[in-house]
Amino acid sequence: METRTIVGSGRYTYEVDKQWGRRAGGVTAFGVVSGIACDSDDRVYVFNRLPDPRVIVLDRDGKLLGAWGVGKFKHPHGIWMSPRDELYLTDRDMHLVTRWSTDGKPLQSWGTPNQPGPPGQPFNQPTRAVVAPDGEMYVSDGYGQRRVHRFAADGTLLASWGEEGTGPGQFALPHDVWVDPRDRVVVCDRENNRIQLFNRQGAYLGEWDDLKAPMQVFVKDDVLYLAEARQQITIMTLDREILTRWGSKGDAPDQFTDSPHSIWVDSRGDIYVSEVTAQNKLQKYVRIGG
């Protein structure tokens, strides 16, 4: 019998399941998992980086449903699911953002395959793409340059902002982006250990500093879920009131051996977290609070 491990507190209490997806009917093991997203039916899409870049699809209980995309990706990085059940994928080394159906049909592409854009322009090793409710797309363009790009609903580039540095509106590594319910553009400025907030036009609104290398956010019902590279998960309000947090470096069920890289919350409030730099680091947190 597996020992239960509980993390979090209050309404945000969870049972840890570090073997999710690897029991009977699932996969033998996950490779390096770059990201995770869920559709409206809580099917889980795992963006695998190694050994074979592809998207693996499982149901919410961890049963394997299929896989697609082998040969289509070079370095999987960001994955985001729209309310229309369309996937937005970023390939860091191909310098691409692509839109896909959930059964693996390519629908749209931005960027030039295998060629970085001109300085300041899309893309040079992008990290994630998300879409606002009005259809505008925002892309964090983080490894090759320090930019955020804003696209119209028809795919046209509207504006870009950011440069290397530590001041307001500057980035050390914009690793993730999200548009929250207050119409703020939330950017994980990873190497500056902060989240920066902007309006939709890119004007600086403020920042949340003293974080542990913020990797990725997920916002649901005015609550922000944050994966931090230095082995921590934080759940907070949009005013940065901490609701709960857990994690430290180690091998225990409530710890992380590597860097939490991606986070997603399904319709039932369960959390999925993937780690990078090592293989088979994907876990589920089943909500039992509230």
Average pLDDT of the residues in 145-153: 97
Which pLDDT band, with edges at 50, 70 and 90, does 257 fall under?
very high
Tell whether the model's pLDDT for residue 204 goes beyond 60.
yes
In a domain, 162, yes or no: yes
Mean pLDDT score across all residues of the chain: 97
Question: According to the model, what pLDDT value does residue 191 have?
Answer: 98
Neighbours of 167 (CB within 10 A): 9
Q: Cα–Cα distance between 67 and 147 in angstroms, integer?
A: 32
Number of domains forming the structure of the chain = 1
> Residue 115 belongs to what domain range?
6-287
Of 164, 166, 176, 271, give the one whose Cα is nearest residue 209: 166
Q: Is residue 1 part of a domain?
A: no
- Residues forming a β-bridge with 208: 195
> Is 175 inside any structural domain?
yes
1-15, 46-60, 66-80, 182-196 — which is least confidently predicted?
1-15
Residue 17 forms part of a structural domain: yes
Q: What is the CATH number of the domain that holds 59?
A: 2.120.10.30
98 is a domain residue: yes
Q: Averaged over 20-35, what is the pLDDT?
A: 97
What is the full DSSP assignment across 128-172?
EEEE-TTS-EEEEE-SSS-EEEEE-TTS-EEEEE-EESSSTTEES
Instruction: Say what the pLDDT of residue 3 is.
Output: 80
| DSSP bridge pairs for 223 | 220, 237
For residue 275, being part of any structural domain is answered with yes
Asked if the structure places residue 233 within a domain, the reply is yes
Residue 168 lies in a domain: yes
Asked whether the predicted pLDDT for residue 108 surpasses 80, the reply is yes
